[in-house]
Amino acid sequence: MWAHQDLFHLDAHGSPTRVAGVPPDYFSATGQLWGNPLYRWDRLRETGYAWWVERLKHGLVLHDELRLDHFRGFAGYWSVPAEAETAEEGVWEPGPGLALFDAVRAALGGLPFVAEDLGVITEDVTALRRALDLPGMRVLQFGFDAHDGEHTPHRLTKDVVVYTGTHDNDTTRGWFAALDPATRARVLDYVGGTAEDVSWSLIRAAYTSVADLGVSPAQDVLDLGSEARMNVPGVAKGNWSWRAASGAFTPELARRLRRLTDDTERGC
């Protein structure tokens, strides 16, 4: 932002005038006010989205694929006045849509991305993802809140990446411990096993699903509780501090993951 101030919503002093966030949702009753400045999509369009092209090129030097967090912002994004105290004061603004990805495809030759399409998802977001043929995301921890949820394993589709939980969720063990008794019983009835091995039961449910890719966070592989949670949405401090203990990843864990990967034909 500092180097390309003309591409962001800033005042004459370089301070944000509009900032990012999301409206009230599953994680927070007042929404999430992130505070980072918003893009000037009109100016980015005038450059052929050159800044975004270079950003994605650099990311692909480091990784085979990139996850586009908050993918819905490319269809429409939540714009909040910089002086607001909560995200409730925001409004929806149109994103760049297909035009951005046409420029990226022309420069990169393809779109090696995963679309994080969680939260408040409207039909225009789904239409954009499908037009770009990008996989979306599903989170198994969300799949037991209701019997018709799209995150339940038997309702998954091939064109998604399924996670037991993401960086914004509690660990599976911590999540399970906080459920009411009826929901805990429903989870175990569905995935099998016992409360003691629920982390691996959800990992197995992810890997045996039809989703093209399954992701199990390290904390679930290590079967850790809420003390290992990575992030609490809407909370500004105390996040991203968890580190795996030295020697935590044992040969036996590697063999267990390998067996499950082989059994579900998910090996490279």
How many percent of the chain have pLDDT more than 70?
99
Domain ranges of the chain: 1-63+76-108, 135-268
> Could you give the C-alpha distances from 21 to 5, 89, 94, in angstroms and in order?
20, 10, 14
Q: Give the per-residue pLDDT at 22.
A: 87
DSSP label of 139:
E
Residue 148 has pLDDT above 80, yes or no: no
Residue 247 has pLDDT above 70, yes or no: yes
Q: Give the per-residue pLDDT at 236.
A: 79
Separation of alpha carbons 250 and 254, rounded Å? 6
Dump pLDDT digits (tens) for 51-106: 999 999 999 999 999 999 999 999 999 999 999 999 999 999 999 999 999 999 99
Please give the average per-residue pLDDT across 19-28, as a whole number: 84
Collapse the DSSP code of 250 into the 3-class scheme (helix H, G, I; strand E, B; otherwise coil) and give the result. Answer: coil
Please give the average per-residue pLDDT across 18-32, as a whole number: 86
Largest CA distance in the chain: 60
Q: Do 31 and 25 form a contact (C-beta atoms < 8 A)? A: yes
Please give the average per-residue pLDDT across 144-156, as a whole number: 87
Say how many residues make up the chain: 268
For the entire predicted model, the pTM comes to 0.88
Q: Give the per-residue pLDDT at 268.
A: 59
Q: Give the per-residue pLDDT at 146.
A: 73
Separation of alpha carbons 178 and 184, rounded Å? 9
Q: Could you tell me which of 257, 248, 165 has the C-alpha nearest to residue 202?
A: 165
Dump pLDDT digits (tens) for 209-246: 999 999 999 999 999 999 999 999 878 789 999 999 99
Please give the average per-residue pLDDT across 132-142, as a whole number: 97
Q: What are the catalytic residues?
A: 69, 116, 168
